Structure 1
């Protein structure tokens, strides 16, 4: 079971409206549950898969105004309702009270015996998103536009036509924006999240 807790750290005057709109938009992503708005700046939702966690986190990092907490709870040894509540609580605890823009913090539920492994997985997942956030922060507006099209499922020809540029220009924008590095980093984050959950499940089963 996975959960994301995000906090708006930007400077919008009408931040409550922006946060509500963001929650609604993020809730349309595949594999993402309905984002609940918590107060003025916070939103939280359950997420079905590692891929959906990565997609949602990337969307938040791309916006450049959010801090993100991720909670991972093994579901094979806990009732779904309990696991859901625990995942949300962990995501909020991961975020903490002094979260900064572009940070991603992770907590993985584990027994006392498995805490060291869980902390290591959490640190590795956070590190993978730190690298992605650094890449995103260095992009030009044209690079962000081009990679956004690719992330939405366009191929290069379709994206170039949509943007009114040549295929060669599209390729150059993607190269300058580090698109290949992003896709590799995304896959790394997905793999780490999946392995963290598998490790947590294995540890929980040993203790049961």
Structure 2
């Protein structure tokens, strides 16, 4: 399973953003969470996810906001699940705690941890490095680039986007090219698969124990 622990960056000099982020994630993914986002302590939020693609999407949302250090813990969770995330426990939660501590000092403000397990194809640190590259690539996008990408992800064509924004199709194409959106589209399924492999590796460890 995947536990995400996110700690607000420089919260002493900013308002508490936990409530707004939890509401946004809940509205977008709702029942996709095994346990929904919960404010576990002060300016920190935590959630439990079973789907690696949803886990990656949540990390992308948190990182794009620019306000969070994000730790992803992968491993087993104590069953049965309690009513709230703050009551839950298990190795994935311990790993997420260690990960968010490291994330505070990382360039991309993200880290991945998992218990010692049978060697996967790539280690958690190696997958973390690939995820950091993707996040830092996205971080370079301009507001205009994000505007074009967001519309593309809603299913609009570049012709439709040009008409909506009042610019030429060529200008839209240049914006999209500058965002490296096609690179991200290729990388995201690969990272999801790698996260899935790490989760499976942690499950194999539990089975053999």
TM-score band by shorter chain is 0.7 to 0.9
Q: CA, structure 1 residues 118+91, in 2 after alignment: closer, same or farther (shift >3 Å)?
A: farther
RMSD, aligned α-carbons: 2.7
Aligned match of 1:147:
149
The TM-score, its normalising length taken from structure 1, stands at 0.81
Aligned to 2:203, the other structure's residue is in SS state helix
Deviations 1:76-128 (A, max 9, x none): xx63439x5222332122112771473211122345xx3xx369521122112
Question: Are 1:175 and 2:177 matched, yes or no?
Answer: yes
- Structure 2 gaps of 5+ residues are 83-87
**Are 1:88 and 2:93 an aligned pair?**
yes
TM superposition shift of 1:154: 2.7
Kept after mapping to 2: 8 A contact 1:108/1:119: no
Residues in 2 aligned to 1:104 and 1:121: alpha-carbon distance in whole angstroms = 15
Q: CA deviation at 1:14?
A: 4.4
**8 A contact 1:149–1:159 mirrored in 2:** yes
Alignment deviations for residues 47-97 of structure 1 (CA, whole Å, 9 cap, x no partner):
13000011011111111221110111247xx63439x52223321221127
Name the SS of the counterpart of 1:35 in structure 2.
Answer: strand
Q: Where has structure 1 moved over 6 Å in runs of 4 or more?
A: none
- Structure 1: 5+ residue stretches without partners: none
Please point out which of 87, 97, 113 is paired with 1:107.
Answer: 113
